[in-house]
């Protein structure tokens, strides 16, 4: 993935990426994290199937209250699962994990500019960093699949497509920016199930924010996602959009804090909790 000046993709690579196979789906979360620590950098959709995943954003302590308030004011896009102490690289979501090494790929931001995408951020780590673990829609994909909803990005071996919208998040202190959404094409006969199953998991984005015409979100071309990969729709598919945990990265781009670390889109933190633990009914 080639970053542009704003951290988004400059061109869509239409080649399939290496996604989860039968082996990676069967991994335990600990095994997945160990492989990522060794440098494996694949997208995590379907990896350690049945276990919840999370987005990561780490900011200096003097920006942490702004980030916490931003998440509280925009819970659909930024549902917080954990917040660490300053300097801590551990999380209650997986007590033996290291947030500096155990994600497939990271992004390093300076003054809102993307400067690196390493597989290990120990060289960038700071003692004042506060990390936010934010719910991820990959967590409810098991429920969609169990209800018969096809997952086109998985079928096509691609990262889920994500788009910056013209819907502005509610600002918080020095942080502001647009909502980012992920898109999954859904056949009409499965739309009710997709809405129902995801709505039962509000801690991982919940129900869609929009179904149908992408122009209502200010998205001009589904074939050119800002993050992730282009996914082909079947003739009757309806594009369905969920709020996305890449939204804090859009806020970093817009608000330009002096430093931040995030996950690379689609390459999440794999925790120890089962997916169904986030289901409310």
CATH code of the domain covering residue 60: 3.30.2040.10
- Residue 14 within any structural domain of the chain: no
- Residue 17 within any structural domain of the chain: no
pTM of the model: 0.90
- Cite the DSSP H helix spans in the chain: 22-26, 29-37, 61-73, 141-146, 152-155, 191-199, 247-255
Confidence of residue 126 (pLDDT cuts 50, 70, 90): very high
- Residue 16 within any structural domain of the chain: no
Which of the 8 DSSP states describes residue 227?
B
104/223 Cα distance (integer angstroms): 25
- Residue 3 within any structural domain of the chain: no
Q: How many domains does the chain have?
A: 1
- Residue 50 within any structural domain of the chain: yes
164/98 Cα distance (integer angstroms): 30
- Residue 94 within any structural domain of the chain: yes
- Residue 11 within any structural domain of the chain: no
- Interval 208-259: pLDDT, tens: 999 999 999 999 999 999 999 999 999 999 999 999 999 999 999 999 999 9
Confidence of residue 154 (pLDDT cuts 50, 70, 90): confident
Tokens of 237: 């598919």
HEC secondary structure over 53-67 = EEEEEEEEHHHHHHH
Confidence of residue 7 (pLDDT cuts 50, 70, 90): very low
pLDDT at 21: 66
* Whole-number average pLDDT of the chain: 92
Res 188 pLDDT > 80: yes
- Interval 38-96: pLDDT, tens: 999 999 988 998 999 999 999 999 999 999 999 999 999 999 999 999 999 999 999 99
pLDDT at 189: 98
Domain, as residue range, for 120: 22-278
Tell me the mean pLDDT in the region 7-24.
Answer: 49
> Phi and psi of 61, rounded to 5°?
-55, -35
């Amino acid at each position: 993935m080639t970053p542009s000046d704003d951290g988004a993709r400059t061109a869509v690579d239409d080649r399939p990426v290496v996604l989860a196979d039968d082996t990676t789906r069967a991994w335990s979360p600990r095994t997945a994290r160990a492989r990522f620590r060794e440098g494996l950098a694949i997208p995590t959709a379907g990896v350690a199937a049945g276990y919840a995943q999370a987005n990561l954003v780490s900011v200096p302590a003097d920006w942490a209250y702004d980030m916490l308030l931003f998440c509280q004011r925009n819970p659909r896009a930024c549902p917080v699962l954990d917040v660490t102490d300053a300097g801590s690289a551990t999380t209650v979501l997986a007590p033996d994990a290291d947030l500096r090494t155990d994600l497939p790929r990271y992004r390093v931001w300076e003054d809102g500019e993307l400067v690196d995408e390493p597989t290990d951020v120990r060289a960038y780590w700071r003692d004042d960093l506060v990390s936010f673990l934010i719910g991820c829609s990959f967590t409810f994909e098991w429920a969609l699949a169990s209800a018969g909803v096809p997952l086109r990005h998985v079928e096509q071996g691609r990262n889920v497509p994500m788009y910056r919208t013209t819907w502005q998040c509610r600002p918080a202190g020095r942080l502001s920016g647009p909502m980012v959404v992920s898109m999954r094409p859904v056949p009409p006969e499965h739309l009710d199930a997709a809405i129902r199953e995801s709505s039962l998991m509000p801690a991982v984005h919940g129900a869609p924010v929009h179904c149908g015409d992408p122009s209502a979100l200010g998205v001009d071309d589904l074939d050119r996602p800002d993050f992730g990969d282009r996914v082909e729709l079947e003739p009757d598919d309806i594009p369905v959009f969920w709020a996305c945990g890449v939204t804090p990265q859009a806020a970093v781009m817009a608000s330009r804090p002096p430093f931040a670390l995030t996950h690379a889109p689609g390459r999440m933190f794999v925790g120890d909790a089962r997916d169904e633990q986030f289901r409310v009914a």
